[in-house]
Amino acid sequence: MKRLLSIVCLLLLVSTALAERVKVRLFSNNSIDLINISFDLGTYDIYGADTLLIEASVGNDKSVELTPQGRQVHVAINGYDYGTHPSVSFRATDTACILCLNPRNIKQRTYEGNITASVNKNGKLLLINDVEFETYIAGVVQSEIYGTDPDIFRVQAIISRTWALKNINKHRSEGYNFCDQVHCQAYLNRCVRPDIMLGTIMSSGMTIVDSLGNLIETPFHANSGGQTANSEDVWRSAVPYLRSVPDTFSYGMRQSEWVKVLTEDKWLHYFSSKHKLNVADDSVRHELLNFSQSTRKVRLCGVPLTRVRADFQLRSTFFSVLYDSAAHRVTLSGHGFGHGVGLSQEGAIRMVSLGIAYDSIIRHYYTGASIDYHESQPAGYVQNYINQIARIIEEDKSAATRSTSKKDDWLGRLFRLRDREEREETYTPDDQLDQDWLYDW
Q: What is the pLDDT of residues 226-236, one digit of tens each?
A: 999 999 999 98
pLDDT greater than 60 at residue 6 = no
How far is it, in rounded angstroms, from Cα 251 to Cα 226? 6
How far is it, in rounded angstroms, from Cα 434 to Cα 437? 5
Q: What is the pLDDT of residues 128-159, one digit of tens each?
A: 999 999 999 999 999 999 998 999 999 999 99
Q: How does residue 193 score in pLDDT terms, banded at 50, 70 and 90?
A: confident
Contact 241, 219 (CB under 8 A): no
Q: Which residue has the higher pLDDT, 66 or 395?
A: 66
pLDDT greater than 70 at residue 440 = no
Share of the chain above pLDDT 90, in %: 72
Q: What is the pLDDT of residues 277-318, one digit of tens each?
A: 999 999 999 999 999 999 999 999 999 999 999 999 999 999
The pLDDT value given to residue 378: 54
The pLDDT value given to residue 245: 98
Q: How far is CA 6 from the centre of its chain?
A: 22
Contact 81, 127 (CB under 8 A): no
The pLDDT value given to residue 13: 38
What are the extents of the domains in the chain? 22-131, 257-335, 379-438
Q: How does residue 432 score in pLDDT terms, banded at 50, 70 and 90?
A: very low
pLDDT greater than 90 at residue 424 = no
Q: What is the pLDDT of residues 342-358, one digit of tens each?
A: 999 999 999 999 999 99
- Provide the 3-class DSSP secondary structure of residue 28: coil
Q: Give the range among 197-201, 397-401, 413-417 with minimum mean pLDDT.
A: 413-417
How far is it, in rounded angstroms, from Cα 46 to Cα 299? 56
The pLDDT value given to residue 178: 96
Across the range 58-85, mean pLDDT stands at 94
Q: Which residue has the higher pLDDT, 148 or 263?
A: 263
HEC letters along 322-388:
EEECCCCEEEEEEECECCCECEEHHHHHHHHHCCCCHHHHHHHHCCCCEEEECCCCCHHHHHHHHHH
Across the range 7-12, mean pLDDT stands at 40
How many CB atoms are closer than 10 A to CB 423?
A: 8
pLDDT greater than 60 at residue 407 = no
Sheet containing strand 80-85, edge to edge, reads 80-85, 72-77, 63-69, 35-41, 98-103, 109-112
pTM: 0.84
User: What is the pLDDT of the chain when averaged over all its residues?
Assistant: 87
Q: How far is CA 183 from the centre of its chain?
A: 11
Q: How distant, in Å, are the alpha carbons of 48, 63, 85, 147, 433 from that of 76?
A: 12, 8, 12, 41, 33
The pLDDT value given to residue 379: 61
Q: Are strands 44-48 and 35-41 parallel, antiparallel or unpaired?
A: unpaired
- Report the CATH number of the 22-131 domain: 2.60.200
pLDDT greater than 50 at residue 428 = no
Q: Are strands 125-132 and 303-304 parallel, antiparallel or unpaired?
A: unpaired
**If you average pLDDT over each of 46-60, 220-234, 381-395, which comes out highest?**
220-234
How far is it, in rounded angstroms, from Cα 126 to Cα 420? 40
Q: How does residue 405 score in pLDDT terms, banded at 50, 70 and 90?
A: low
Across the range 113-117, mean pLDDT stands at 96
How far is it, in rounded angstroms, from Cα 281 to Cα 440? 80
Q: What is the pLDDT of residues 81-105, one digit of tens each?
A: 999 999 999 999 987 889 999 999 9
Q: Give the range among 102-106, 286-290, 333-337, 417-421 with minimum mean pLDDT.
A: 417-421
The pLDDT value given to residue 16: 35
Q: How does residue 426 score in pLDDT terms, banded at 50, 70 and 90?
A: very low
The pLDDT value given to residue 56: 81
Q: Are strands 72-77 and 98-103 parallel, antiparallel or unpaired?
A: unpaired
Q: How does residue 12 score in pLDDT terms, banded at 50, 70 and 90?
A: very low
